[in-house]
């Protein structure tokens, strides 16, 4: 009668071991899932912090676009209307300079296939300043705002010409970036600009 009891005891021990093994495996699996969930939550939290930093940090971004229209006028030379559109795609106000040297025209000659740029002609002063209401040599453009400027110039000789708009930008973030990257007394400037090549026949 004692032998069957011993066998029953061995069987119960074996069953207990199996149950313990199953419980251990379940605990390991649950811990693994929990660890993965914690890591995912930390990753999502880091992304949310980064997104918040990007939204709250100030950035200056001015997109410059240029279109040139040939005007048919009797007489010598060819008159061109040059339109520059400035669009603020950043998230802070930006001051853009518009002095006489903001836009230029330079004739291009070639030597051994390489371009040689002639003396530039600055036409920034061709922007009408006004009389009673005068425009200044800068404009302030807010976030998502755009501003269009018109220039006019006559080119007397045929050839290939470069038309370049290049303007200095001023803002709080630009000042900070310049100081951090180049020091307080740096001569480096942040600009916005666009180039176009035209053929004058």
Give the CATH number of the domain where residue 141 resides.
2.60.40.10
In this structure, the answer to whether residues 93 and 138 fall within a common structural domain is yes
In this structure, the answer to whether residues 85 and 170 fall within a common structural domain is yes
Task: Give whole-number Cα distances, 38 to 8, 28, 32, 51, 68, in Å.
Answer: 44, 15, 10, 20, 58
In this structure, the answer to whether residues 185 and 128 fall within a common structural domain is yes
CA-based end-to-end distance of the chain: 120
In this structure, the answer to whether residues 41 and 84 fall within a common structural domain is no
62-71 and 78-88 as β-strands: parallel, antiparallel, unpaired?
Answer: antiparallel
Q: Which residue, of 16, 38, 56, is where some domain finishes?
A: 56
Task: Give whole-number Cα distances, 194 to 68, 98, 112, in Å.
Answer: 12, 14, 26
Question: What's the number of domains the chain is made of?
Answer: 2
Other beta carbons less than 10 A from residue 198's beta carbon: 17
In this structure, the answer to whether residues 77 and 51 fall within a common structural domain is no
pTM exceeding the 0.85 threshold for the entire prediction: no
Q: Which residue, of 28, 56, 84, is where some domain finishes?
A: 56
DSSP 71: E
The predicted-structure confidence for 111-151, as pLDDT tens digits, reads as follows 999 999 999 999 998 888 777 777 888 999 998 899 999 99
In this structure, the answer to whether residues 38 and 123 fall within a common structural domain is no
CA distance 108 to 114: 10
In this structure, the answer to whether residues 102 and 146 fall within a common structural domain is yes
Q: Which range of residues forms the domain containing residue 5?
A: 1-56
Q: Which residue, of 56, 87, 103, is where some domain finishes?
A: 56
In this structure, the answer to whether residues 161 and 113 fall within a common structural domain is yes
In this structure, the answer to whether residues 33 and 67 fall within a common structural domain is no
In this structure, the answer to whether residues 23 and 73 fall within a common structural domain is no
Between 154 and 26, residue with greater pLDDT: 154
| pLDDT reading at 83 higher than 60 | yes
In this structure, the answer to whether residues 143 and 77 fall within a common structural domain is yes
Please tell me the predicted confidence (pLDDT) of residue 153: 92
Please tell me the predicted confidence (pLDDT) of residue 127: 85
| pLDDT reading at 47 higher than 70 | no
In this structure, the answer to whether residues 66 and 158 fall within a common structural domain is yes
The predicted-structure confidence for 18-39, as pLDDT tens digits, reads as follows 656 676 667 666 666 656 656 6
The predicted-structure confidence for 3-17, as pLDDT tens digits, reads as follows 555 555 555 555 556
CA distance 98 to 101: 8
178, 97 in Cβ contact below 8 A? no
């Amino acid at each position: 009668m004692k032998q069957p009891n011993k066998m029953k005891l061995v069987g119960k021990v074996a069953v207990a071991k199996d149950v313990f093994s199953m419980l251990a495996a379940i605990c390991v699996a649950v811990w693994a899932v929990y660890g993965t969930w914690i890591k995912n939550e930390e990753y999502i939290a880091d992304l949310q912090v980064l997104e918040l930093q990007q939204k709250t940090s100030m950035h200056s971004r001015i997109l410059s676009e240029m279109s040139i229209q040939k005007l048919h006028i009797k007489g010598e030379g060819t008159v061109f209307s040059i339109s520059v559109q400035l669009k603020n795609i950043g998230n802070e106000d930006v001051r853009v300079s518009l002095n006489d040297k903001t836009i230029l025209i330079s004739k291009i000659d070639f030597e051994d296939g390489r371009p040689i740029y002639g003396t530039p002609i600055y036409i920034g002063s061709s922007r009408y300043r006004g009389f009673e209401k005068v425009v200044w040599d800068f404009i302030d453009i807010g976030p998502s705002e755009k501003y269009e400027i018109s220039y006019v110039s006559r080119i007397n000789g045929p050839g290939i010409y470069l038309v370049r708009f290049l303007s200095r930008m001023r803002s709080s973030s630009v000042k900070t970036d310049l100081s951090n990257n180049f020091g307080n007394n740096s001569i480096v400037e942040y600009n916005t600009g666009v180039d176009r090549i035209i053929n004058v026949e």
